[in-house]
Amino acid sequence: MTAATYLRPGLPIPVAENDGLDAPYWEGTRRGELMVQRCKACGNWQWGPEWICHKCLSFDMGWQKVEGRGCIYSWERPWHPVHPALKDQGPYIVVLVELPQAAGIRMLGNLVGDPRQAVRIGAEVEAVFEPHNDAKPPFTLVHWKIIGAS
Amino acid sequence: MTERTLRGEVAIVGIGETTYYKHGKSPDPEFMLALKAILAACADAGIDPRKIDGFASYSNDRNDPSRLAAALGLPELRFSNMQWGGGGGGGAGAVANAAAAVAAGLADCIVVFRALAQGQFQRFGAAPPGGTASGEAALNAPYGVMSPAQRYAMRAMRFIHENGIEPGAQRAIALASYHHAQRNPRAVMNGKPLTAEVYDASRWIVEPWRLFDCCMENDGAAALIVVPAEQARDFAKKPAYLLAAAQGSEYRNGARCHNAPLYATSSFTTVAPHLYAMARLQPADVDVVQSYENFTGGVLMSLVEHGFFTAEEANNFLVPENLLAPGGKLPLNTSGGNLAECYMHGLELQVEAVRQIRSESTTQVPDAQVSMVISGPMVTPVSSLILGSGETL
Ligand SMILES: [Zn+2]
């Protein structure tokens, strides 16, 4: 059986870029791990991925697992469906989450739970992995949940 | 050492537009719309279209200059230019590129144009069906972030949070555009006034934006003609001189997946100081502003970043009476703009800025000498420009 997903099925399936830049991230999500870039030369955290470190211009970018905890930096609640798959979705929440343990890089995902809940910028959240094992190709999304919420 | 500047080097001497249509309602193909706007600008300037020797546009306009030059039978093509970047951020940038080319002697008579018949192509506000997403899209689309409104609401929400912006501030921007459109017979929303009550009751598109915070989608075309300043008085209409132009964005504004270090920005914090420096003007010198409304929150941030008021003053300043021509402190979007005249991707704002210098607007600001256009907030690159009458040179 397949667990319910936050958004209805039928949205575009995320795949790694042809040049492989973000492949370690997407492979990590399949293992339930949050992988982001960290420069091997200067230790700079970097997200989204790029081929070069914006701090020291080294091409030697590594990948490091980060803990899936952060706080809400911004948010929005779409109501108007722009994709056929979301026609009967109703409102949903998208959050931008800042990861203090990785120098404040930000990640975007949905906020699980009541789509009409009040959202507070600064609220602490933890990552929730949402596998789509039946998709072709399979992929995993990374959502966020208010810490302490059921 | 001579100062490198565009101040006073070129002028806009012709403006032209097609009829503005609701989305998908143009009876003409997009390329024909482009041609009609260009010919209208030539007629306005009183020139033979065969004097055109260059084209500039933005946002991946589909109407290729070489095809235009062939279609119009131009003796030669000397300049063809596309400003990088999507959205309306390139509107003033395209004028600036044309201006720089004219000032440097690359061409003598450049048309800046934009033509849109979205019904004949993919709509901006709609997502492409199915399939896969990669790169930046892979980090957004599977979470339901696909349209420009969905992409930029996240930025505006952070700005609203940091600065305590109240709903009335965004509402005032929408009301001003609709108010001005009621005087403008070209406006798609002419005859359809908007009240605060109707705004407040309108549906959310994406919080913090309601229906009336978001631009329309339209069909049509607009064009303007840039020539050297020393020839500007040889044309039929009063010239609008370029006093300054600037484009770009801040440090790492384009960092992927919403990671711009300065996130709560409309991208003008570094651009606007260059603009004023070239113009040798201050915000208080500006008589009238056209500010690209993709979404009202972006206009709010643009006006802050161009120094018309601070973020802390926004709630008090952004009331309709301050934004209305002729008497407001800062007459804004005097033709109705993207919200209520036509979403001509902001080129209609350039045309209106010229009209204000000519005293030809349907909501004219008395004795307007300095006329600003702000293009494409929140995207990167953005651009803005200042036009002036001959008296400002
Ligand atoms: Zn580095």
User: Which CATH number do you get for residue B76?
Assistant: 3.40.47.10
Q: Which residues of B touch A13 (CB under 8 A)?
A: 131-133, 142
Distance from CA of A81 to the nearest CA of B (A): 8
Query: Cα of A50 to ligand 1 centre, how many Å?
Result: 12
Chains A, B: CB pairs < 8 Å: 140
State whether residue B73 sits within 8 Å of chain A by CB. no
* Residue at A71 is within a domain: yes
Candidates B241, B13, B250, B251; CA nearest to B112 is: B13
DSSP tag of B293 = -
Cα A8-A14-A17 angle, rounded to 5 deg: 170
Q: Give me the tens of pLDDT residue by residue for chain B, a chain 393 residues long.
A: 678 999 999 999 999 999 999 999 999 999 999 999 999 999 999 999 999 999 999 999 999 999 999 999 999 999 999 999 978 999 999 999 999 999 999 999 999 999 999 777 766 666 566 689 999 999 999 999 999 999 999 999 999 999 999 999 999 999 999 999 999 999 999 999 999 999 999 999 999 999 999 998 899 999 999 999 999 999 999 999 999 999 999 999 999 999 999 999 999 999 999 999 999 999 999 999 999 999 999 999 999 999 999 999 999 999 999 999 999 999 999 999 999 999 999 999 999 999 999 999 999 999 999 999 999 999 999 999 999 999 999
* Residue at A16 is within a domain: no
Candidates B326, B329, B322, B361; CA nearest to B175 is: B322
* Residue at B175 is within a domain: no
Q: Which of A15, A78, A139 is facing B144, going by the closest CB pair?
A: A78
Residues A96 and B130 sit within 8 Å (Cβ to Cβ): no
Q: How far is CA B83 from CA A52, B96, B194, B369, in A?
A: 25, 10, 34, 28
Q: Give me the tens of pLDDT residue by residue for chain A, a chain 150 residues long.
A: 345 899 999 999 999 999 999 999 999 999 999 999 999 999 999 999 999 999 999 999 999 999 999 999 999 999 999 999 999 999 999 999 999 999 999 999 999 999 999 999 999 999 999 999 999 999 999 999 999 886
* Residue at A68 is within a domain: yes
Contact A11 B144 (CB under 8 A): yes
* Residue at B181 is within a domain: no
Q: Which residues of A touch B161 (CB under 8 A)?
A: 74, 121
Contact A83 B145 (CB under 8 A): no
Distance from CA of B269 to the nearest CA of A (A): 20
State whether residue A15 sits within 8 Å of chain B by CB. yes
| Domain boundaries, position A71 | 23-146
> Quick one: closest CA in B to A20, which residue?
B135
Number of domains in chain B: 1
Q: Which of B259, B262, B295, B301 to mutate to test the interface with A (most CBs of A within 10 A)?
A: B259
Contact A22 B132 (CB under 8 A): no
> Quick one: closest CA in A to B256, which residue?
A48
Q: Which of B141, B204, B259 is facing A47, going by the closest CB pair?
A: B259
State whether residue A14 sits within 8 Å of chain B by CB. yes
State whether residue B155 sits within 8 Å of chain A by CB. yes
* Residue at A116 is within a domain: yes
Q: Which residues of B touch A89 (CB under 8 A)?
A: 144
> Quick one: closest CA in B to A132, which residue?
B142
| Domain boundaries, position B29 | 10-121+214-392
Number of domains in chain A: 1
Tell me the DSSP string of B243-275.
EEEEEE-STTTT-TTT--SS-S--S-TTHHHHH
- Give the phi and the psi of residue B148 in degrees, each rounded to 5: -55, -40
* Residue at B173 is within a domain: no
State whether residue B106 sits within 8 Å of chain A by CB. no
* Residue at A91 is within a domain: yes
* Residue at B150 is within a domain: no
* Residue at B56 is within a domain: yes
The set of catalytic residues of B is: 292, 343
* Residue at A17 is within a domain: no
Q: Which residues of A touch B160 (CB under 8 A)?
A: none
d(CA A116, CA A134) in angstroms, rounded, equals 29
> Quick one: closest CA in B to A111, which residue?
B143
